[in-house]
Amino acid sequence: MRLRLRFTKLGKIRFLGHRDLARCWERAIRRAELPIAYSEGFSPRPKVHFGLALPTGAASIAEYLDIDLREPIDITGLASTLSEMLPVGVDVTAVSVVERSATALQAAVTSVTWEFGLTGVDAAQAADLVAELLARTEVPLTIERKGKRITEDVRGAILDITSGRPATAHAVELPIGAAGVVPVPLTLEMAVRPRSLRPAEVLAVLGANERPNLAAPWVCRHEQWITIDGHRGVPLAATVPSGPLATAGVDER
C-alpha cells in the first residue's frame, strides 16, 4: 500500500533543512506505528519518497511525500494524527492511497507556483522588472559549477510572472517586515526541467545586481504541478486548510 501526503512547511520550521525534516518525518511515522516498508540490503531504510526539495528558508503549503506500507491501513484521521507528531508549522493537509506504480514525485512534477515577497522596490518598479524580464527572448545567468563559472540561458524555466498573489494565497498571511514594510507580492510559474531556478537566481535575473536593495525575505511554494492525461493537475489536492503562520515578523519565520 502506498500513501501520498500533502503537507505544509510554515513558520520558523522553514529554516530546517531537507534532511533534518526527513528525520522528523521518520520519527513521526514510527510514533504513529505505521507499518512502514523497508528497503532490502545491508542498511535497510524506510521507504519514504519526498517530492522536490524545498530551499532552506522557503515556506510551502504544497509539499508532498509518498510512504510505502507493508499492509493496508485505515487512513481516517491519519492527517491529524501525524500533524500532532510533527514540528509546529508542518501540518498534513491531505492523505490518499495511490498506486505503487505511480510515477515518482520528483519525476512527475513539471512546474511549480511560487510567491515571492519583494523588498527594495515598490509595486510599479516590480511590475517594470517583470515586464522587462518577460519581454526578453534570452535570459543569461552566470553560475559556478564544479569550480568553473558558466553562463546558461534560463528563459525557458520562466513560464510566467505576474504581480499580485497566487490563488492559494488566502491560506498564508503575507508577512510584514521591519518598520511595517509589506513585501510586494509576485506569482511565478517556473519549470523544473532541465533544472529549477533557486530563489537567489530568480532575484539575479530580476536585476538584483543593478538593484542592491532588491531582496525576497518571503518565498513560498504554493503548488507543484504534474501532467494527468494531457492536463495540468496537482499530485494531491488539499482537503484540510492550512493554518496561519505561527509568528508575525519576516525575520522570525
- For 81, the enclosing helix (H) or strand (E) is helix 78-85
- Which of 219, 217, 201 is CA-nearest to residue 144? 201
Residues 6 or more apart in contact with residue 135 via CB below 8 angstroms: none
- pLDDT tens digit string along 83-105? 999 999 999 999 999 988 888 88
Report pLDDT for 194: 84
Judged against a pLDDT cut of 80, whether residue 245 lies above it is answered with no
User: 10 Å Cβ neighbour count for 83?
Assistant: 18
Report pLDDT for 147: 81
For residues 54 and 182, the model is more confident at 54
194 preceded by a cis bond (ω within 30 of 0): yes
Report pLDDT for 251: 41
- pLDDT tens digit string along 178-191? 777 889 999 999 99
- Give the bridge partners for 113, in sequence order: 189, 223
Supply the pTM of this predicted model. 0.89
Report pLDDT for 216: 93
Report pLDDT for 179: 72
- Which of 81, 86, 118, 79 is CA-nearest to residue 20? 86
Largest CA distance in the chain: 59
Domains, the chain: 2-103 (3.30.70.580), 108-234 (no CATH)
Report pLDDT for 157: 94
Report pLDDT for 242: 66
- Which of 91, 101, 64 is CA-nearest to residue 233? 64
Report pLDDT for 98: 92
